[in-house]
Chain A
């Protein structure tokens, strides 16, 4: 197990390290002068001020030096200051990150809660009308753009019925965005669970369990479910990353004050320090969750736990 987790940890560290390099290079990939572009929208910036910014960002130095500076600042928890407002980027992100994480986790919870039972039921009734209708529903769910689903939910539940608030950041406000993100991912979980369960049900060990005369419910609960959920668990890390990506759109629809909305605004305003900070934060979150899921998997699967 430690070997397995060690490999995963090393991969995660490598990913984050490469992110820091890419983030440093990002600003140079911008066509034209990044500082000029950043300040193009604000008037009355003097050339002296621009030079000052260039120096403070280290853009007048060679790239390796810039990278070293970036890392040094990073180790001190300094991601630079925003172009608009001059606040520390880390503060701006940390203020909003919890909102995004809450949204993603809530969506994940909904997706699993709906998707896994549906997938299990479909697998149990493989080939039946129930199975076919559920799978038609699932493929429709996968095909539904979540930004559209979001708008529709917004339209019906907030505007037409007036049950839920349109936007904001309270607990009630969480329902619609989490549902938007959760429902489209529930479809993915349903399909995944179904194929995994069908695979397990055809295994010899399930037949052996039946041959022992165990009641069906026990075979399903103990043998099928435990073995069949393992592939679902492995996919959870990837799904979470997917959710994080989804938050960017959903936050914008429901004006949810998270890092995704912040990032899109920053792209419009060419606020590169925020964009850099966002990319780095995003990858740290995704990598951390992936490692946690891998650890969970390692604990659940004896073949890894005891290897």
Chain B
């Protein structure tokens, strides 16, 4: 506390990372995500076998023993496939969210900042696309471009744009109507200054939360497409695709179904929890 002319000075809140780690969801989420990043980064070191090497020890070996998570219908090591799959999954999440975030923020910020007819066109268009739902947009894209992992990721990324644009737009709109923003206009600030020093830093926290939660959605959507056969193609160790393949052996080797599904669920849970944790720790106002 410092000496001041008036009482009621608030104590500086603890730093962002401390707050994040103190919230249970933030801590668990961050741990899961870090673990995933670790797995993805060191997949080739951690994996005991090649994810594509077939039939070495036998097909349909149950989990435990030499093959930690068992083997699949071609005798590939499930543990190694899951490890390599984390790489693909994180990449899918990052690229898809990258597309949604970049385009969405651009649209949202321009609409909120320019107002007038540019705003009307951009936001009405976004509303229309939004009511299309992400699934339909993604499916239409794959229908046009043809099934492949790359196309699925692009499709999921594009499908997310309306949501990101809307969120960014409303967050930016809130900021532009606040007195501090108007004070800056009244001080004579130009568009570049307004956007870069005031709008962007204040919208960013919201968008970081949205993007973190969005990684979950993107991973789920892409895995869904792969599950339908519209995304990753053989012999990729993509979790959704692995799950689709397990259907034929559901009686004989149920672990082929449970393991990739669990991997997706834990990953998605990790990003969801991290997003929730970020939401509370990035926004000092919500902390009470």
Pair from one complex: yes
Chain A contact residues, CB within 8 Å of chain B: 11-12, 14-15, 18-19, 22, 26, 29-31, 139-140, 142-145, 147-148, 151-152, 154-155, 159, 241-242, 244-246, 248-249, 252-253, 263-264, 266-268, 272, 275, 279, 282-283, 286-287, 290
Known A-B contacts A143-B265, A152-B261, A159-B251; A252 and B144 likewise in contact (beta carbons under 8 Å) = no
Contacts of B142 in A (CB 8 A): 267
Task: For the complex, give the distance between the alpha carbons of A143 and B276 in Å.
Answer: 13
- Cα distance A282–B132 in the bound complex, in angstroms: 8
* Residues of chain B from 269 to 288 with CB closer than 8 A to chain A in the complex: 269, 272-273, 276
Closest-by-CB residue of B relative to A264 is B228
A249 touches B227 (CB 8 A): yes
**Residues in B whose Cβ lies below 8 Å from that of A152:** 257-258, 261
Given A145-B265, A151-B257, A155-B257, residue A15 in contact with residue B144 (CB < 8 A): no
Partner of B128, one of A14, A140, A253: A14
12 A-B residue pairings within 8 Å (CB atoms): A11-B128, A140-B265, A148-B265, A155-B254, A159-B250, A245-B136, A263-B139, A272-B143, A279-B139, A279-B140, A283-B132, A286-B136
Q: A241-B133, A248-B135, A268-B229 are in contact. Are A143 and B250 (CB under 8 A)?
A: no
Tell me the minimal C-beta distance from A266 to chain B in angstroms.
Answer: 8
Q: Decide if B132 touches A11 in the complex (CB within 8 Å).
A: no
Establish whether residues B273 and A139, one from each chain, have CB atoms under 8 Å apart when the complex forms.
yes
Given contacts A14-B124, A142-B272, A147-B240, contact A267 B147 (CB under 8 A): yes
Q: How far is the CB of A267 from chain B (nearest CB, A)?
A: 5
Report the nearest B residue to A12, measured CB to CB. Answer: B131
CB-based contact B145/A245 at 8 Å: no
Residues of A within 8 A of B139 (CB): 248, 263, 267, 279
User: Which residues of B sit under 8 angstroms from A14, Cβ to Cβ?
Assistant: 124, 128
Residues on the A chain within 8 Å of B136, using CB:
245, 279, 282-283, 286
Q: Is B224 an interface residue (CB 8 A)?
A: yes
Chain B contacts for A140, CB-based, 8 A: 265, 269
Contact call A145/B254, Cβ cutoff below 8 A: no
A191 (CB) vs chain B CBs: closest residue:
B276
Interface check B223, CB cutoff 8 A: yes
Measured between alpha carbons, how far is A248 from B230 in the docked complex, in Å?
12
Q: How far is the CB of B262 from chain A (nearest CB, A)?
A: 8
A283–B273 Cα distance when bound, in Å, is: 32
A286 touches B243 (CB 8 A): no
A15 touches B131 (CB 8 A): yes
Alpha-carbon distance between A252 and B136 when the two chains are bound, in angstroms: 16
Q: Name which residue of chain A comes closest to B217, CB basis.
A: A142
What is the interface of chain B, defined by CB distance below 8 A to chain A? 25, 124, 127-128, 131-136, 139-140, 142-147, 216, 220, 223-224, 227-230, 240, 243, 246-247, 250-251, 254, 257-258, 260-261, 264-266, 268-269, 272-273, 276
State in angstroms the CA–CA spacing of A290 and B142 once bound together: 25
Shortest CB–CB separation between residue A183 and chain B, in angstroms?
Answer: 13
CB distance from A136 to the nearest CB of B (A): 9
Contact of A290 among B25, B124, B131, B266 (CB under 8 A): B131
Using Cβ atoms and an 8 Å threshold, which residues of chain A touch B216?
Answer: 143
Across the interface, B133 reaches (CB within 8 A) one of A155, A245, A249, namely A245
**B243 x A147 contact (CB < 8 A):** yes
- Among A12, A242, A266, A279: residue with most chain B CB under 10 A: A279
**Pick the contact of A15 from B128, B230, B254, B264 — CB < 8 Å?**
B128
Which among B124, B127, B144, B268 has the highest number of chain A CB atoms within 10 Å? B144
Known: A148-B264, A283-B132, A287-B131. A26 touches B223 (CB 8 A): no
Beyond A29-B144, A267-B139, is A154–B250 a contact (Cβ under 8 Å)?
A: yes
A residues in contact with B250, CB < 8 Å: 151, 154-155, 159
- Find out whether the CB atom of A145 lies under 8 angstroms from the CB atom of B272: no
Which of B128, B134, B143, B257 sits near A275, CB closer than 8 Å? Answer: B143
Q: Do A252 and B228 have beta carbons less than 8 Å apart?
A: yes
